[in-house]
Amino acid sequence: MAMPEHENHPNGSLWGLVLAAGDGSRLEEYVRELKGRALPKQYVNVIGRRSMLEHTFDRAERLIPASRILIIVSEDHFAHTEARRQIASRPAETVIVQPENKETGPGMLLPLMHLYKRCPEAIVAVFPSDHFILEEDRFMDHVELAAEAVARTPERIMLLGTDAQWPETEYGYVVPADGGGQFSLWGARKVAHFAEKPALEEARRLAGAGALWNTMIMVFKVTTLLRMIETLFPELHLRFSSILDVLGRSTERDKVKELYRGLEPLNFSKGILERVLAEFPGSVYVLPMLDVLWSDWGAPHRIGNALEALGVNAPLPALPQLA
């Protein structure tokens, strides 16, 4: 994939959003063993010099300029010197700080409000910041393909799914419907339903039946998702849209803190995306990327499995393996 001249690219309205607001509690002990100190996982370099977050930005910038890649972080991350260093390397206007972590629902909505105010017609590619991806150029080809599909049919949400290589019980699964409809040329398929963190027997059944792991890497038009949220969660939408007028002003920080004080934690995948699929049938598609080695490094055993598959011999803490 050749590097585009971004302003003249067919996806000229394409933005990126890096989700980096989590605290990485499941990897806390692992990180302490590896680094000798606490640090949210996305700022950690497991192998090599770059952290998971830095890898995420490097991948995204193969398609999207740094000035159009937003990052959402939490205020308490600034207590860590290494986190401050990595955040400071980004264009200041792209860094969005939430006062506390209220899960991925608010963690998506806050930056989407910023993006809507800056570029209402934007298409956005969402990148979690704790993923390992081996074939990065090939991966970004899939992201570009998803963006082109959304540009042509902006009422769709495109997810990237990957081959379920074993019955992982901590991943979400995407069950595709039969037939690809108008997206058949891209290889994308309608999503029939989701299965979030199934029990082992169900995970085996899903993997054997051709379900895909849900990477939660997605591409959509900002106004499309916001309209869906307004329909399904009117009070939540009203709360977040109430801050539009203060974004970029001196009162923004206080207003966002006030907003977050009244919020209950909400998981985007379970709490929002599943409702979208149920209430807007045919709106969510999955694009399989079967030629990319992908892993969510949110748990120690998955780091160990990925490194073992690559034949990497790194000085890591003891890593539990899957049975």
**What tens digit of pLDDT does each residue of 138-193 get?**
999 999 999 999 999 999 999 999 999 899 999 999 999 976 555 555 789 999 99
Q: What is the pLDDT of residue 215?
A: 98
Question: What token pair was written down for 27?
Answer: 């990897």
Q: What is the pLDDT of residue 300?
A: 84
Answer whether 0.75 is exceeded by the pTM: yes
Q: What is the pLDDT of residue 181?
A: 53
| More confident site: 211 or 3 | 211
As a whole number of angstroms, the distance between CA 64 and CA 5 comes to 10
- pLDDT category at 316 given cuts 50, 70, 90 is low
Question: What token pair was written down for 98?
Answer: 């939430």
As a whole number of angstroms, the distance between CA 277 and CA 174 comes to 11
On the question of pLDDT at 77 being above 90, the answer is: yes
**What tens digit of pLDDT does each residue of 121-139 get?**
999 999 999 999 999 999 9
CATH 3.90.550.10 correct for 12-309: yes
Identify whether the C-beta of residue 194 lies closer than 8 Å to the C-beta of residue 277.
Answer: yes
Q: What is the pLDDT of residue 206?
A: 97
Phi, psi of 114 (to 5 degrees): -60, -45
Dihedral of CA 266/267/270/275: which sign?
A: positive
**What tens digit of pLDDT does each residue of 255-293 get?**
999 999 989 999 999 999 999 999 999 999 999 999 999
Q: What is the pLDDT of residue 61?
A: 98
- Residue 159 CA from chain centroid, whole number: 10
CA angle 195, 272, 44 (to 5 degrees): 80
How high does pLDDT run on average in the chain? 90
Q: What is the pLDDT of residue 314?
A: 56
**What tens digit of pLDDT does each residue of 99-111 get?**
999 999 999 999 9
From the CB of residue 115, how many other CB atoms can be counted at a distance below 10 Å?
20
Residue boundaries of the structural domains of the chain: 12-309
Question: Longest C-alpha distance within the chain, in Å?
Answer: 54
Q: Which of 12-26, 53-67, 199-213, 299-313 has the lowest mean pLDDT?
A: 299-313
User: Could you tell me which residues are beta bridge partners of residue 126?
Assistant: 17, 218
**What tens digit of pLDDT does each residue of 214-267 get?**
999 999 999 999 999 999 999 999 999 999 999 999 999 999 999 999 899 999
